[in-house]
Amino acid sequence: MEVNSSDLGIWHTVVPTSMGTLTLVRDAQAMRGLYYPHHWYLPKQSAFGPRSDDGFDDVIRQLGEYLDGQRRDFDLSLDPRGDSMQRQVWTQVQEIAYGETITYGDLARHLGDGVTPQQVGAAVGRNPLCILIPCHRVLGRDGQLTGYAGGIDRKRRLLQLEHDQGAKMAGTARLALVPPPDALARAAQDVVGTPGRELVIT
């Protein structure tokens, strides 16, 4: 018998983003789903519960910050529903750092117990909380952009976003180590006592 999701306190909203209009699903305790348009394995609409915008302000804000390159990690309660294998895979996927990637094969080897890359791929494809559980960071052999529930183009864009922001942060860190020109000039004057004389740093 199909369970009426509204009886379980589940509800949803939709939000426009740079990745398309996303459907967000939650219950009173945690986020339960994030789905793209034409999402793989999209549940029936009835599984989303009634439409209500209540309780989504935080996730919408954090998603916006992430997609704008202003956030690296999410601070949200998540409750993805799946079987034991799926939950193991999703837990490991959550450990992949921003800007980093792993292959299905490496993830399978990390899980051990005879888990195959195909099993990992199947679980990743069923991830109900895309972006929040960053399955876009899982790649095929040799870094190939294999299937993604939201489509390969979105996977590429998410990886590019994280790559670009990581590069910017690395550049900012390098610049922070270099004193501004006026500071070097002041240091030179203090050391040699003669304005305009260059300080040689070795």
Give the residue numbers marked as catalytic. Answer: 135
Closest CA to 137 of 105, 94, 186: 94
d(CA 117, CA 109): 8
d(CA 164, CA 183): 30
The set of residues, in sequence order, having a beta carbon less than 8 Å from that of 84 and lying 6+ positions away, is none
Closest CA to 78 of 125, 24, 41, 22: 24
